[in-house]
A and B are shown apart, each in its own frame.
Chain A
């Protein structure tokens, strides 16, 4: 591995100043499960590594039926996977984290790190977008809140600038009669990157779908919302014709590429299949 300078700031203020001063050649390390691979394989030139794990107060988590789920930036994927509140109330996020790498990886990898890495195929992102999650970002210029949906500008690229440190995430509480699902499609069951990821969170009112959010992973330059497809279902009843139209529209909204994992045509086709399936699972999981 190429050598780098190593820093262990003790406060957010110190870390933010350091990162702002060092600029692009510096990278935050939290879990390190992506970063160290990128440095080893020389996919990224990193001359400074800033470890934020010595900063107190970034590893908290809380659940409240009214306020929802909140957790700090250092909470690992495995902690989220095994947290009873997530298992019970956010089966979509639970599925996503439990399919991320191996247990060894999940014991180090953080959910916020998986988001900030901004991979179009990241598993945690579609369910968090579908649930309307928001990130809290610290900077010495001031704290701000960024919806996960608005974070990404391209593969590996976000609106964050040097000096920004995501400190935590908030996922709104599930509303009454709501259901959620995430389906990861790959070639094998474990240790896989998603070929297509589909998350659906919806609310039911009698026979109609009161609200719905569909988020797609690995089928565009960033994770995306299928907004036109959502609009077809919002306030409508869930009959077969509507579902078919929603699936078709979600396919049209995706702009996949062909790569070693799948062709663009196959990915688009699977968006249709999995969108229907995920809507069914979300309906079936209404609490």
Chain B
């Protein structure tokens, strides 16, 4: 059995036919063709699938696609200003080496964006608290924190 779900993904209204047991993560990656959101653990531990749902960061693996009916979803693909113009967070992650193998990066960037939307001047402890649900198996956390802090500093002076 398939159900029709309508959601706004990165500013574009999408109507997708999905089985009710399919997670938002699988819907975005398969039906939606947006593979920037990663499937790490699929049980809400690693944060690689972090997307914004109605402005709040969630694990897309712990949301049913059908629950996204009528919501606004933002994924990593919607973050850049243009194909050659990355978001400031993405620039700072490159500048500071905040990405090694890169698998966790989309989730971490989305979570960092959620943090900075709410708190433009976070302490390092606040950055760590916000990123507690994002695991980097390359363990490059120091540079990730550096990149988020640098983004916040640049944002405040712009």
Could you list which residues of chain A lie within 8 angstroms of chain B, going by C-beta atoms? 1-6, 29, 32-33, 36-37, 39-41, 49, 51, 53, 78, 101-105, 107-108, 189-191
What number of B residues sit within 8 Å (CB to CB) of A?
Answer: 31
B114 beta carbon closer than 8 Å to chain A: yes
B91 beta carbon closer than 8 Å to chain A: no
Option from B21, B59, B133 in Cβ contact (under 8 Å) with A4: B21
Contact A103 B133 (CB under 8 A): yes
Q: Give the top 10 A-B pairs by smallest Cβ distance, nearest first.
A: A102-B133, A6-B20, A190-B132, A107-B56, A3-B21, A104-B59, A37-B43, A33-B62, A1-B21, A104-B133
Q: Which one of B58, B62, B66 has the highest number of Cβ atoms from chain A below 10 Å of its Cβ?
A: B62
Contact B45 A32 (CB under 8 A): no
Could you list which residues of chain B lie within 8 angstroms of chain A, going by C-beta atoms? 1, 3, 19-23, 42-45, 47, 50, 53, 56-59, 61-64, 66-67, 111, 114, 129-130, 132-134
Contact B133 A32 (CB under 8 A): no
Can you report 27 residue pairs joining A to B where beta carbons are below 8 Å apart? A1-B21, A1-B22, A32-B64, A33-B62, A36-B23, A36-B62, A37-B44, A40-B42, A49-B20, A51-B66, A51-B67, A53-B67, A101-B44, A102-B132, A102-B134, A103-B57, A103-B132, A104-B44, A104-B59, A104-B62, A105-B62, A107-B57, A108-B59, A108-B63, A190-B129, A190-B133, A191-B45
Question: In the assembly, what is the distance between CA of A144 and CA of B92, in Å?
Answer: 55
Q: Closest A-chain residue to B61, C-beta based? A: A36
Residues from chain A with a CB closer than 8 A to the CB of B43 are 37, 40-41
Option from A2, A29, A49, A191 in Cβ contact (under 8 Å) with B133: A191
A175 to chain B, nearest CB (A): 32
Residues from chain B with a CB closer than 8 A to the CB of A40 are 42-43
Residues from chain B with a CB closer than 8 A to the CB of A191 are 45, 132-133
On whether A33 and B129 interact (CB within 8 A), knowing A103-B111, A103-B114, the answer reads no
Q: Closest B-chain residue to A4, C-beta based? A: B21
Residues from chain A with a CB closer than 8 A to the CB of B67 are 29, 32, 51, 53
Question: In the assembly, what is the distance between CA of A29 and CA of B53, in Å?
Answer: 17
Contact B19 A104 (CB under 8 A): no
Contact B64 A104 (CB under 8 A): no
Residues from chain A with a CB closer than 8 A to the CB of B134 are 102
Option from A4, A41, A101, A189 in Cβ contact (under 8 Å) with B20: A4
Residues from chain B with a CB closer than 8 A to the CB of A29 are 64, 67
Contact B129 A104 (CB under 8 A): no
Residues from chain A with a CB closer than 8 A to the CB of B50 are 104
Given contacts A1-B23, A104-B133, 16 further A-B contacts (CB under 8 A): A3-B21, A6-B20, A36-B23, A36-B44, A36-B62, A41-B43, A78-B56, A101-B44, A102-B47, A103-B111, A104-B47, A104-B50, A105-B59, A190-B129, A190-B133, A191-B45
Question: In the assembly, what is the distance between CA of A108 and CA of B130, in Å?
Answer: 15
Contact B132 A108 (CB under 8 A): no
Q: Closest B-chain residue to A3, C-beta based? A: B21
B107 to chain A, nearest CB (A): 9
Question: In the assembly, what is the distance between CA of A83 and CA of B45, in Å?
Answer: 25
On whether A108 and B64 interact (CB within 8 A), knowing A40-B43, A49-B20, A101-B44, the answer reads no
B76 to chain A, nearest CB (A): 14
Contact B23 A37 (CB under 8 A): no
Q: Closest B-chain residue to A109, C-beta based? A: B62
Residues from chain A with a CB closer than 8 A to the CB of B22 are 1
